[in-house]
Structure 1
Amino acid sequence: MMRTLGLVVFLLASTAVAAPAEETIVRPFVRGSFAAIVEAGRGRPHIVNFWSIGCPPCLAEMPILKKILESGADVRLTMVSTDAENDIPRILRTLEKYAPAKAEKWVFADTFVERLRYEVDKNWSGELPRTYLIGVNGEIKVESGLLDESALSKWLEGQVK
């Protein structure tokens, strides 16, 4: 508990100067976080993207996600770094450089990462990038590997009523 509290304080202090608070807060991803993220996005298209600083395909798809958000599409984007807590400075630099500013940002805050992955998806063995496309009806489509921009756009168009 103290470790998670320390992480929250560090993340808030590290990001407070960079930009408006709403866009720069990085939240600790712990047990129960995925369910909370899904619930918070209920009723509108939601993309939940798991990535890592050491994953070139993860970094390559960030401009695709940024383009989707900047297109004005009514979609919620949540980006979750699966990196270790000691990588927080690099995570923050990577997010600042590549990630869409309007994305909600989280970082794994449990050393038992297998438990976090299992809670997200019992079939997820850790491959990245891993993206969950959650429709307005709650249906979840899982994508492993680099997202196909045209397929993502087509999915999003199917969410518009």
Structure 2
Amino acid sequence: MKFIAIFLACIFALFSNAYAQTNGLKPYQKGDWKAITKPYAGHPLVIHFWGVTCSPCAREMPLWGKFIAQHKNAEIIFVQVDDVSVESAAKMLSNAQLKDANSYMI
């Protein structure tokens, strides 16, 4: 019984750590487009495709962070399209003050 409790605690710690590192980045999968955009039907929505290795993206992401801070009701979805680690994408979002933004990673 003690072994099971320790095993479950380890599993919980691993998943908690993985979740914390993503800073809200959700995986984007085939067929997600309709599910992602449906709640915003009839409302203005910005979908920003960006990449960690994209120099213009690196310059503009902090501007998006400022925009969201000033426009709390703005509906913006960020989709990271580079083949990079979750940690790299999460770091860029965090540096741009976008760690809590609605973000997906392809």
Could you say which residue in structure 2 is the equivalent of 1:90? Answer: 88
Amino acid at match of 1:16: A
Residue aligned with 2:85, SS: helix
Q: TM-score by structure 1 length?
A: 0.49
Q: Percent of aligned positions with the same letter in both sequences?
A: 22
- Aligned-partner Cα distance in 1 for 2:89–2:21: 16
Could you say which residue in structure 1 is the equivalent of 2:20? Answer: 16
The superposition leaves residues 46-103 of structure 1 with CA deviations (integer Å, 9 ceiling, x where unpaired) of: 111111110011111112212221113521111111122x522211211111252441
- Aligned-partner Cα distance in 2 for 1:103–1:72: 13
Higher relative contact order (CA 8 A, sep 6+): 2
Structure 1 alignment gaps of length 5 or more: 1-9, 19-23, 109-161
Matches within 5 A, 1:1-40: 13-16=17-20, 24-40=23-39
- Aligned-partner Cα distance in 2 for 1:11–1:27: 14
Residue aligned with 1:16, SS: helix
- Aligned-partner Cα distance in 1 for 2:97–2:32: 20
Structure 2 alignment gaps of length 5 or more: 1-13
Whichever structure has more helix as a proportion of its residues is: 2
Q: Tell me the number of residue pairs that the alignment of Structure 1 and Structure 2 aligns.
A: 93
Could you say which residue in structure 1 is the equivalent of 2:78? Answer: 79
Indicate how the Cα distance of structure 1 residues 89 and 17 shifts in structure 2: closer, same or farther if over 3 A, else same.
Answer: closer
Indicate how the Cα distance of structure 1 residues 28 and 95 shifts in structure 2: closer, same or farther if over 3 A, else same.
Answer: same
1:36, distance to aligned residue in structure 2 (A): 1.7
Q: TM-score by structure 2 length?
A: 0.71
Matches within 5 A, 1:53-132: 53-84=52-83, 87-108=85-106
